[in-house]
Homo-oligomer: A and B are copies of this chain.
Amino acid sequence: MGLRIMSRPCLIGLDWGTSSLRAMLIDRRGQTIEEQFRPWGVMHLPVGSFTSAYADVTSIWRTEWPDLPCLAAGMVGSRQGWIEAPYCDAPATIEMLATRLTSVPDVGMHIVPGVALRGARPDVMRGEETQVFGSLDQGKDRCIVLPGSHSKWVTMESGSITDFHTFMTGEIFAALRDHTILGTAASSEKSTEAFDRGVLAARAASGGIAPLFFSARSLVLDGQLNPSATLDYLSGLLIGDELHIARSNAKPLLIGDADLCRRYRRAMNLYEIAAEIAAPGAAAKGLWRIARAAGLIPG
């Protein structure tokens, strides 16, 4: 309650993805004052609906500040979400996103469009564009990496998202761990040595890592890898494989879960790539910037 007095809110921001919903009370500098977390992702809604989930997570703030605007980003705007917010084609600037918000009728919530890359190698993002624009003050021309279930490598040029590539790293890792022979011997121990080994094996693999997956098993059978280190080796293979896309002078900015960002930074160091980890709060800052550009809050 002390913070509420010190810093007046101007926006409710929602980071509403596939697996969770994070609601943020955001102040006039784009900082988070209060935060609420629910495991109510678009694919994991509790009994009820988007409307009741939304009401639950915002009501405590609405009571006090009934007129606060609300802006959401993420899979809530997908076809499987609350209401479909059509993609904005790349190259995409913050101004383009701000002029194409989709409103949820009768609720007073707006949704940031995702970004689509068209052409021979199409790709899509929803939610990451907001985090990317939240990191604008850390450079308008750079490579931004958002590790996760679907890791994104984003190229930002002059403050515009011009290119990006999705790797299913986290989701593939979980599927291999939980549903193939590679998970059977695994333990929860951590081995940075095995992780590094996986990264270096991926780096040396001219034909990619799919032909190497079985090595996570055969190295164990041959006594060259500790069974408990299987998953770290596999994680190194998958993350290391992403790094082939990085230019040696990229100096990527990492945005996301702190542990995961450190894991990526370690892998990048093995590729002699200097990486930087973004300060927390990219989603809140991005929602606040887009809300300002859209005129939802004073500029």
Contact = CB atoms under 8 A, between A and B. Distances in A.
A123 B214 contact: yes
A81 to B, nearest CB: 14
B179 A210 contact: no
Interface of A: 116, 118, 121-124, 150, 165-168, 171-172, 174-176, 178-182, 205, 207-211, 213-215, 218-219, 221-222, 224, 238, 241-242, 244-245
Contact of A209 (B118, B121, B178, B210): B210
Nearest to A219: B122
A219 to B, nearest CB: 6
A222 B181 CA distance: 34
A171 B175 contact: no
A250 to B, nearest CB: 16
A211 B172 contact: no
B181 A179 contact: no
Contact of A180 (B122, B124, B171, B180): B171
A290 to B, nearest CB: 22
A230 to B, nearest CB: 13
Nearest to A181: B171
B207 A118 contact: no
Given A165-B211, A168-B210, A210-B238, 6 more contacts: A122-B219, A123-B214, A168-B182, A168-B213, A168-B214, A207-B208
